[in-house]
Amino acid sequence: MGKKGSAVLRLRIKEVAQEKGLSMTKLSQRSEVGFTTIRLLFKDPYRSVNTDTLERLAKVLGVSPLDLLEYIPDNDAKQ
């Protein structure tokens, strides 16, 4: 994950795809994003992703690219 005390962004691609009933294969085909990339993003929600990929996935999933991100504030901010 991120360094201690630093905020991170977590990808919600897997969760949103499951909510929409789309498998990794269907998501890959419809978004024209490689299956290997989709698999890596499902497996590691803290992985870097470029904005073009995020926009393609969001379009296929029918959501805003922002809906595919979860902001996790740093632990220090909670105290």
Residue 19 in domain: yes
Determine the Cα–Cα distance for residues 44 and 48; give it in Å rounded to an integer: 9
Predicted local distance difference test score (pLDDT) of residue 49: 95
Closest residue by Cα to residue 4 from 79, 78, 76: 76
Q: What is the pLDDT of residue 16?
A: 98
Q: In CATH, what number is assigned to the domain containing residue 64?
A: 1.10.260.40
7: left (phi over 0), alpha (psi -120 to 50) or beta: beta
The verdict on residue 68 lying in a domain is yes
**2, part of any domain:** no
Show the domain range for 20: 8-78
What is the pLDDT, as a whole number, of residue 75? 66
Q: How far apart, in whole angstroms, are the C-alpha atoms of residue 36 and residue 25?
A: 10
Tally of domains in the chain: 1
User: In the prediction, which pLDDT does 14 show?
Assistant: 97
The answer to whether residue 20 sits within a structural domain is yes
pLDDT at 5: 59
Task: Give average pLDDT by consecutive 10-residue segment, the chain, 79 residues.
Answer: 69 97 98 97 95 98 97 66
Asked whether residue 13 is domain-assigned, the answer is yes
